[in-house]
Amino acid sequence: MRAHLLGMAAAAAVVVVLLGAAQTGAGRSVLAHAGLVKPSEPYTELAFARPSQLPQRLPTGRTRLTVPITLHNAEGGARRYAWTIEALTGGRRAVLARGRLQAAAGQRAAVRTRFAAPCRGARTRVEVRLAQPAESIGFWAQCR
């Protein structure tokens, strides 16, 4: 009976060690290569750094804005991103700012640039666009 309990305790200890190893990068890689887990899909995350502070109203005409953006490279390797900030107002689309950003695998990077946002008609939309991967985020503001 004692030998049986020791055997079960040893088996449980092996399971705990294997589960711990599976939580490491190397462990996940071994499991993925063995076909036991699906490898994660690469992606790029694009977000406004402070979405609660985005303007809801803009004066008619042009307004200087800074809209901080964060980018997280989860593509699995270093990437070079081309971005633009565009406005859609009064039926017209205009590029307000553009740039490039290098990000290492797993890196979070910030874009902080000032631009003049036009506001004509009832409202305007400000969009941040990545060329590759094709991704965008944006917000609407009422023109007053």
pLDDT digits (tens, 9 = 90+) for 79-126: 999 999 999 988 889 999 999 999 999 999 999 999 999 998 899 999
Q: What angle do CA 64, 144, 123 make, to 5 degrees?
A: 80
pTM over 0.85: no
* Single-letter amino acid code for the residue at 78: A
- The residue ranges of every structural domain in the chain are 2-33, 43-143
Which CATH class name applies to 43-143? mainly beta
pLDDT digits (tens, 9 = 90+) for 72-92: 999 999 999 999 999 998 888
Helical residues (DSSP H) of 34-112, grouped into ranges: none
Q: What angle do CA 21, 3, 9 make, to 5 degrees?
A: 25
Name the nearest CA neighbour of 62 among 124, 128, 113.
124
Query: Is the backbone peptide bond immediately before 133 cis, with ω within 30 degrees of 0?
Result: yes
